[in-house]
Structure formats: structure tokens, C-alpha cells
Amino acid sequence: MKSVTVHLPALQVVVPLLGALLCALLRRGTSAWAMSLIVSWLLPAISIALMLQVLRSGPISYHLGGWAPPIGIEYRVDLLNAFVLVLISIIGAAILPFARRSVAHEIDGDKQAWFYTMYLLCLTGLLGITITGDAFNVFVFLEISSLSTYVLIAMGKDRRALLSAFQYLIVGTVGATFYVIGVGLLYLVTGSLNLVDIAARLGPAAAESSRPVMAALAFLTVGVSLKLALFPLHVWLPGAYAYAPSVATAFLAGTATKVAIYVLLRLFFSVFGVAISFRSLPVSEIMLVLSAAAMLIASLIAVFEMNAKRMLAYSSLAQIGYITLGISLANVAGLTGGIVHLLNHALMKTALFLALGAVVYRIGSAKLDDLAGIGRQMPLTMAAFVVGGLALMGVPGTAGFVSKWYLAVGAFDRGWWPLVFLILASSLLAVVYIGRVVEMAWFREPSEIAAKAKDPPWSMLMPLLALAAATIYLGIDTEASAAIARKIAESLLGGLK
């Protein structure tokens, strides 16, 4: 047993990678689904074990192939990435019971096994990005997850899915290449690729050769921001989320952008450190303005969107704005808010997209007009949607309130109190766009197609209700998520204030 626990960091990545290969070999949709279900339920067990180990005895350093860092590749698990690992693996596992019927409904029989292969590959990439301590390794995993994401999106039924996948491929590759340029510059300055080692070597070197370091910071920030869809770099996201298969959308909304945000946190706070990231370049100010723009403009677009899936995609942009706002505040409360929102947004947006996925499963459409009266036909599904929507608005008693509270406190601490009004304004816009769906679903006479719909089978309802319940639980037991997020924020800011 001892020998297994030592290798948990490697297993976190190797298990889904092998699972993906097996799925490709199985060829039959149902058996591939069963395979990926088993694999994806193993992953939270591994990540939670890692988390407990970190909580008990501090960061874990795993040397791949026995080569010691900084020469060898190191997997390094500390509180921040253990937290992200748990989040991603749980979301990945929670979606799969839902996936079987939804995928069978939306994707042709011979392609279903490929869907699960890509799903697990994407999960491999995302977990790999999170766990690795090597800058170039991050790029490799980034591309594993990106390439499989493009395929997942292109599997959507609508032909516009192809177009969205192509657009994302172009933008995503440019982003990843920017990341490589940044890493290259850092390597030229420091001679190392190990994140911890780069941070240590940057300390003295940064002052003398500051220009390449600044350029690296700029390239890395822009590259990763493309991946996390920071406001003006978001063009790929709405199309990709709107036309991808429902399961893929829910999965990507809950995981892909969150991992990109993790990379940004890691770079800003662990590699460059607050001194370089926020003092030498106006990164914080730029990010603040862009986050504010995302929160307002994306929410406004969401208000006028007629397709519910697209609407939620724009709402995702606004919510990502909240998280980057927390990063740009760069104080303990703000960062705590950002990290808590990372978790909360993943849970509620996955729940919302799964609810829409269930609707698409029954009526084959996510257009707002077709949702008329659906609430009475699919009460449990739409109840979960309402819970997710309330969390999105930040109603007290739901998870969204906790993160917004910390963000507001962070804004006050920093002396930027007008931001509080911005957070309120964006929340009000969320009330409007979620309100439109709720009004349509619960207070209209059922449309022709909606009249025939009913709640989906329990295999699909359970993940949905569980996620909705989690958003309420985290809204009531506020310390459950906030305590650990505050610990992470303190360790990120620690020593570099």
C-alpha cells in the first residue's frame, strides 16, 4: 500500500491517460462510457488522498523517473494545486453519469467511444497542467487538453460547431505559442524550467536583466489570458460553448478555464512573485480594467442573448471577470474571493449547463423561446437551474454570495470601494438574464415541444441535483471553502508583501 501512495501524483495523470487509450480500443459507446466512468471515479479518490497528504505533511515533490529536480521533471503538489486537482477531478467524475444518455442522444454511435477518449485525454491534460512543476511540461499538457477540446467541440451536431472549433484552434494555438515564447525567455534568463527553481533564480537575476523578464511576463500573461478567456481575448468562448455537445460544454465550463486561471495564479504569485508581477508592470491595473469590462459588457450581452446556452457562455465570461478581479486586487481577501469563486463558479456553471443539457436531451433545443413552460414539465431540472442561477446572482445562502463577499472586502481593503458597485451592477445584470430564463420556464404556457417533455432519468438528474446541492451547502457552510482558500491566498502572498 505504501508503494502506491508514493506514486499517487504520477497516477493522477497516468490513470486517465491509459483510460483514454482503452476507450479508443473499446470502440463501443457503452463500454467506453463504463470505462471512463470507472477511471474518472478513481481520480477524485487520488486527488483527495493527495489533498489530505498535503494538509498533513506539507507540499509533495514527486520526481518522475527518479531524476531529481531541477534536472528531472518534478510533480509538485501544494495546497493550491491540490485544491484545483480535487475540483477538476470531482467535476470530471460528476458529469459522467449524466454523459451516457446525453452523448448517445447527441453523437453518432460510432463516434461515442471517441468522445469518451477525448474526454479522458482532456482530463489528463488539465490534471497534468495542474500537478506538474515544470514550465515546459505545462505546455505539453496544455496542448494535450487543447487538442482534445477542439475535437470535443467539433463533435457538436450543428455545423457551426466546426467553425467554433476551428476558431478556437487558431486562438488557442496562438495562446499556447505565446506561453512557449514566455517560457523560452525565462529559460534564457534563468537556465531552468522548474517553476520553483525559476522563482529562486529570478530573485537576483530579475534586477539586472529585467527586460527579458518583463517580456516573458507579458507573453505568459497574454498567452494564458487567451486560454482563460479574459475579456477582449474571449472571442472563441461563446461559440465553442454554444455548439459543443452538452456534456462537453458542462465539462469545459467547469474545468478548462479554471485550470488556465490556476496557471495564471501560479505564474504571478509563485514564479514571478508579487514584486515583479504587479509592481514593475501595470499588470494589476490592466487586469482590473479588463475584469471590470468583462463583468459589465459580457453580462450585458448575456441579457440580450436568445440562446440559453450562449447566454450562459457570456455569463461565464463575466464570472471569469470576478475571478481575475480577485487576482488583480492582490490582497488576502481579494485573492480568497477569487479562489473561492473559482470553485463556486465551476460548481454552479456545470450545474447550469447540465440542466440545459437535460433540456436539450428532452426537447432538442436550448433556444429561449422553446423553453417556454418547461419548468412545469421538468420541475426538478429547472429547480436545479434556479438554484444555480441564484448562486450566479450571489444571493445570500448560496455559494456565489461567499465569493462576492470576499471580493467586496478585498476591494475595500485595497481602497477601491467603487468596485463594490461594479460587483453589484454585474450581479443585477445576472438577475436580469437568469430571470429571463426563469420567467420563460416557469411563468409561460408550455410551448408545443415543451409540453411533451418530462424530467430526465435519474442517472442524469443525480449529478445535476448533487451539484446544485453543493452550491447551497457551500453557501451555508461558508467556512468550508473560504478557510482553505484563505490559507492558499496567504501562502501565495506570503513573504512577498
Partner 1 sequence: MQIPTAIQRFAEHYNYLVTIFLMVAGLYVVIARGNMIKKLIGLSLFQTSVYLLYIAPGKIIGGTAPILDPSFKVYSNPLPHVLILTAIVVGVATLALGLALVVRIHEAYGTIEEDEIFAKEGEQ
**Contact (Cβ atoms closer than 8 angstroms) between residue 252 and residue 241:** yes
> Is there binding between residue 24 and partner 1 (CB under 8 A)?
no
> Is there binding between residue 211 and partner 1 (CB under 8 A)?
no
Q: Which of 269, 270, 314, 283 is nearest to 432 (CA)?
A: 314
Residue 184 CB, nearest approach to partner 1 (Å)? 5
**169, 363, 384, 402: which one binds partner 1 (CB under 8 A):** 169
CA distance 355 to 148: 24
CA distance 9 to 47: 8
Residue 159 CB, nearest approach to partner 1 (Å)? 4
Phi/psi of residue 263, nearest 5 degrees:
-60, -45
**49, 174, 293, 472: which one binds partner 1 (CB under 8 A):** 174
**Contact (Cβ atoms closer than 8 angstroms) between residue 14 and residue 125:** no
> Is there binding between residue 162 and partner 1 (CB under 8 A)?
yes
> Is there binding between residue 27 and partner 1 (CB under 8 A)?
no
State which residue, 118 or 422, has the beta carbon closest to partner 1. Answer: 118
State which residue, 40 or 192, has the beta carbon closest to partner 1. Answer: 192
**31, 61, 177, 459: which one binds partner 1 (CB under 8 A):** 177
Query: What is the x/- site pattern for partner 1, positions 179-198, by CB under 8 A?
Result: -xx--x--xx----x-----
CA distance 408 to 326: 9
**Contact (Cβ atoms closer than 8 angstroms) between residue 365 and residue 447:** no
Count of C-beta atoms within a 10 Å radius of residue 48: 15
**Containing H/E element for 14?**
helix 8-26
Question: C-alpha distances in angstroms, 213 versus 14, 190, 205?
Answer: 34, 10, 9
Q: Which of 10, 16, 20 is nearest to 50 (CA)?
A: 10
The whole-angstrom distance between residue 420's C-alpha and the CA centroid of its chain comes to 24
Residue 72 CB, nearest approach to partner 1 (Å)? 12
Q: The dihedral of CA 96, 100, 104, 105: what is its sign? A: negative
Residue 92 CB, nearest approach to partner 1 (Å)? 22
State which residue, 194 or 350, has the beta carbon closest to partner 1. Answer: 194
Per CB under 8 A, contacts with partner 1 among 102-161 are 136, 139-140, 143, 147, 150-151, 154, 159-160
- Mention every residue, 6+ apart, whose C-beta is less than 8 A from residue 110: none
Residue 151 CB, nearest approach to partner 1 (Å)? 7
The whole-angstrom distance between residue 253's C-alpha and the CA centroid of its chain comes to 6
Residue 466 CB, nearest approach to partner 1 (Å)? 34
CA distance 319 to 58: 31
Q: The dihedral of CA 333, 337, 342, 343: what is its sign? A: positive
At 92 the three-state DSSP class reads helix
Query: What is the x/- site pattern for partner 1, positions 216-255, by CB under 8 A?
Result: ----------------------------------------
Residue 118 CB, nearest approach to partner 1 (Å)? 11
State which residue, 143 or 413, has the beta carbon closest to partner 1. Answer: 143
> Is there binding between residue 165 and partner 1 (CB under 8 A)?
yes
- Only one of the segments 110-118, 174-182, 259-267, 456-464 lies at the binding site for partner 1 (rule: CB under 8 A); that segment is 174-182
**18, 163, 296, 493: which one binds partner 1 (CB under 8 A):** 163
Q: Which of 26, 98, 491, 5 is nearest to 270 (CA)?
A: 491
State which residue, 131 or 180, has the beta carbon closest to partner 1. Answer: 180
Q: Which of 344, 380, 324 is nearest to 477 (CA)?
A: 344
Residue 40 CB, nearest approach to partner 1 (Å)? 24
Residue 176 CB, nearest approach to partner 1 (Å)? 8
At 330 the three-state DSSP class reads coil
State which residue, 34 or 222, has the beta carbon closest to partner 1. Answer: 222
State which residue, 14 or 170, has the beta carbon closest to partner 1. Answer: 170
List contacts with partner 1 (CB under 8 A): 136, 139-140, 143, 147, 150-151, 154, 159-160, 162-163, 165-166, 169-170, 173-174, 177, 180-181, 184, 187-188, 193
